[in-house]
Copies of this chain bind each other. A is one copy, B any other.
Amino acid sequence: MVKPTDSELEILHVLWVNGPSTVRQIHEELSRNRDIGYTTALKLMQIMYDKGLLTRTEDARSHVYTAAVSEEDTQRSLVDRFVETTFRGSASKLVMQVLGHHKASREELDEIKNLLKQLDQTSPDKQ
């Protein structure tokens, strides 16, 4: 599984949210958040195409790019790597860290509780 860099992740995120886009569209989105030249965005996307992170088709005179990797898969592999380097493989330590310090909203906490319930149904304990 290819590991996208931070900049590549920005671009993937736009594609995951907005769907297939041209360099111009991506550049416009990225420009909302930070200063970035058009050819910089282009170059990044060409590199991502070479790496296999994006596919593309010719539409009239410009290319239309599509994410070649799913958000789910990408996040999973990034999390795996992160858990490895930062928490020496302990996923639960990561969760504890996040729950302890990020003030998750009421809804988010409820979501997490529901997920835990589901996990319990799969292999319930006595509590």
Q: Residues of A with Cβ closer than 8 Å to B? A: 6, 9, 13, 75-76, 78-79, 82-83, 85-88, 90-92, 94-102, 104-106, 108-113, 115-116, 119-120, 123, 125, 127
Q: How far is the CB of A62 from chain B (nearest CB, A)?
A: 27
**Chain A at the B interface: SS class:** helix
**A91 B110 Cβ-Cβ under 8 A:** no
Compute how far the CA of A112 lies from the CA of B117 in the bound complex, rounded to whole angstroms: 12
- Complex: how many Å from CA A127 to CA B111? 12
If A79-B86, A91-B104, A102-B83 touch, whether A116 touches B125 (CB-CB below 8 Å) is: no
A75 touches which of B86, B92, B99, B108 (Cβ 8 Å): B86
State which of B6, B92, B123, B127 has its C-beta within 8 Å of the C-beta of A112.
B92
Chain B residues with Cβ below 8 Å from A86 are 9, 75, 78-79, 82
- By the criterion CB–CB under 8 Å, are B104 and A87 in contact? no
